């Protein structure tokens, strides 16, 4: 009788413990999955932001260059159509600019916000004002200072160089974020990272001559 009771009690205990372990494992996996989805969503948002900034930045720069070229070549018959395209590009850029600042700060860093403002947008404004004065002079029937147009062209080249550098930096951050989300981060053994190492890995560290050479690939599911 006692053996039967022991079997029943053992069965009940194993069932309860097993059920508890399964529920805990499922909850842990759900949390890991939610964390991964959150990081994947941030990566996707950052990638879309990088594409949008590059597209609108390139459009504004391109149409400024076209207008400057038209003024330099005295192609008055082309100016009206190109001004329409240029003004549309300026409006689109200005409409999205605040959104760019906010999303860059949230998804990356305030340093990129400062860089976009100082090396790109401020120069867009300054060069645009100079370009507008030449446009007004042309529309008023006045002559165009070819030296002024040349200076604007040089400034647009500098903006283009800054834009390429900015886009390269942002795309580098996007690729790094992608690698972290889908492939993990390599962590070197240290006092600050040792909690991310398993017990077996910590035991191995006791027998390694150069403990600083130890590293692991940590993914979202390991967090």
The 10s digit of each residue's pLDDT in 136-146 is 888 777 677 78
H-run or E-run covering 189: none
Average pLDDT for residues 38-64, to the nearest whole number?
A: 94
- State how far the Cα of 76 lies from the Cα of 83, in Å rounded to an integer: 11
CATH architecture assigned to 38-182:
Up-down Bundle (1.20)
The more confident residue out of 210 and 152 is: 152
12 has a pLDDT exceeding 80:
no
pLDDT of residue 164: 97
- pLDDT confidence band for 209 (50 / 70 / 90): low
Q: Please tell me the pTM assigned to this model.
A: 0.75
**Residue 83 predicted with pLDDT over 60:** yes
* Average pLDDT over every residue of 174-184: 85
Q: Which residue has the tokens 């962590």?
A: 187
Q: Which tens digits make up the pLDDT trace of 86-131? A: 999 999 999 999 999 999 999 999 999 999 999 999 999 999 999 9
Q: Which carries the bigger pLDDT value, residue 60 or residue 140?
A: 60
What residues does each domain of the chain span?
38-182, 184-223
For range 187-198, the mean pLDDT: 59
pLDDT band of 165, cuts 50, 70, 90: very high
The rounded percent of the chain whose pLDDT value lies above 90 is 47
Cβ atoms within 10 Å, residue 181: 19
Residue entry with tokens 């006791």 = 206
Cα–Cα distance between 160 and 120 in angstroms, integer?
9
- Give the pair of three-digit tokens for residue 166: 């900015």
**Predicted pLDDT of residue 136:** 87
- Residue 75 confidence (pLDDT) above 80: no
Residue listed under structure tokens 């990081």: 39
Contacts of 169 (CB under 8 A, 6+ apart): 112, 115
**What Rg do the C-alpha atoms of the chain give, in angstroms?**
30
Mean pLDDT, rounded, for 150-170 = 96
Tell me which of 21-25, 77-81, 182-186, 213-217 is least confident.
Answer: 213-217
Buried b or exposed e, range 159-173, using 16+ CB within 10 angstroms: bbebbeebbeebeeb
Is the pLDDT score of 53 beyond 90?
yes
**Contacts of residue 40, Cβ cutoff 8 Å, sequence gap at least 6:** 181
Binned at pLDDT 50, 70 and 90, residue 188 comes out as low
């Amino acid at each position: 009788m006692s053996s039967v009771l022991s079997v029943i009690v053992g069965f009940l205990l194993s069932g309860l413990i097993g059920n508890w372990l399964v529920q805990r494992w499922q909850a842990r996996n759900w949390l890991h999955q939610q964390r991964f989805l959150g990081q994947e969503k941030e990566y996707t948002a950052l990638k879309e932001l990088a594409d949008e900034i590059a597209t609108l930045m390139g459009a504004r720069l391109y149409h400024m260059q076209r207008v400057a070229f038209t003024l330099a070549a005295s192609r008055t018959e082309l100016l009206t159509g190109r001004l329409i395209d240029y003004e549309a590009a300026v409006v689109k850029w200005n409409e999205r600019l605040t959104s760019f600042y906010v999303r860059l700060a949230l998804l990356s860093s305030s340093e990129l916000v400062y860089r976009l403002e100082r090396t790109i947008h401020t120069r867009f404004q300054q060069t645009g004002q100079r370009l507008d004065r030449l446009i007004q002079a042309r529309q008023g029937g006045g002559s165009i200072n070819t030296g002024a147009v040349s200076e604007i062209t040089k400034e647009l080249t500098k903006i283009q160089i800054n834009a390429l550098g900015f886009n390269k930096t942002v795309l580098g951050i996007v690729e790094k974020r992608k690698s972290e989300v889908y492939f993990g981060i390599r962590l070197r053994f240290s006092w600050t990272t040792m909690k991310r190492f398993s017990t077996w890995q910590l035991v191995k560290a006791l027998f390694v001559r150069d403990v600083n050479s130890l590293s692991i690939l940590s993914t979202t599911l390991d967090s």
